[in-house]
């Protein structure tokens, strides 16, 4: 296995693991740490996490697969997660999705060839009153309009 956690990440993990009476409970935090460390969760990273908490790689994999926020493939520098659930739908999330799909030529789950953007429609982000909303990586963007979405993409392209 070529991947390794940094000393800093390992120390952070040991601090977190102490919060639980059993190490296995620290699997979700371990996967989060791995995702921060490596940008996504390649199979080797999932195996590393399994080793940290003392479960089998298969058990760690099924957990990584179960939760939608763990990236099982390498995404773009900016991961656009557009909410598509009811309140956002009623306020135009389909138009927002269309802007992303047309402007970046992306289908759900895809990444642009330059690695700058990836795109995934997601379920309710609890921004129902500020919809349509989305997350770019961990940050919320709310009260979206097609024009704002276009401008945001232009802005992120330059970064």
Q: Is 145 in the site for other proteins (CB under 8 A)?
A: no
Q: Is 70 in the site for other proteins (CB under 8 A)?
A: yes
The whole-angstrom separation of Cα 159 and Cα 145 is 21
CB closer to other proteins, 136 vs 150:
136
User: Which residues, listed in sequence order, are joined to residue 139 by a DSSP beta bridge?
Assistant: 136
Q: Is 22 in the site for other proteins (CB under 8 A)?
A: yes
Under 8 Å between Cβ of 99 and 150: yes
Q: Is 58 in the site for other proteins (CB under 8 A)?
A: no
CB closer to other proteins, 3 vs 128:
128
Which residue in 63, 73, 70 sits closest to 111, CA to CA?
Answer: 73
Q: How far is the CB of 56 from other proteins (least distance, A)?
A: 12
CB closer to other proteins, 76 vs 132:
132
* Cα-based angle 109, 81, 30 (whole degrees, multiple of 5): 85
φ, ψ for residue 135, nearest 5 deg: -115, 135
- 27-46 binders of other proteins (CB under 8 A): 27-29, 31-32
Alpha-carbon dihedral 71, 73, 87, 28, rounded to 10 degrees: -10
Residues that bind other proteins (CB under 8 A): 19-22, 24-29, 31-32, 53, 55, 62-63, 66-70, 84-87, 89-91, 122-131, 135, 138, 140
């Amino acid at each position: 296995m070529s991947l390794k956690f940094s000393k800093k990440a390992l120390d952070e993990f040991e601090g977190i693991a102490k919060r639980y009476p059993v190490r296995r409970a620290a699997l979700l935090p371990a996967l989060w740490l791995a995702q921060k460390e490596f940008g996504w969760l390649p199979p080797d990273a999932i195996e590393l996490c399994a080793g940290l908490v003392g479960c089998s790689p298969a058990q760690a994999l099924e957990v990584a697969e179960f939760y939608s926020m763990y990236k099982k493939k390498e995404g773009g520098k900016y991961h656009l997660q557009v909410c598509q659930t009811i309140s956002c739908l009623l306020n135009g999330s389909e138009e927002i999705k269309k802007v992303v799909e047309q402007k970046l030529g992306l289908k759900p789950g895809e990444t642009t060839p330059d690695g700058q953007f990836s795109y995934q429609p997601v379920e309710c982000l609890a921004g129902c009153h500020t919809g349509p909303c989305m997350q770019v990586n961990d940050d919320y963007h709310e009260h979206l309009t097609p024009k704002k979405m276009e401008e945001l993409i232009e802005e992120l392209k330059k970064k």
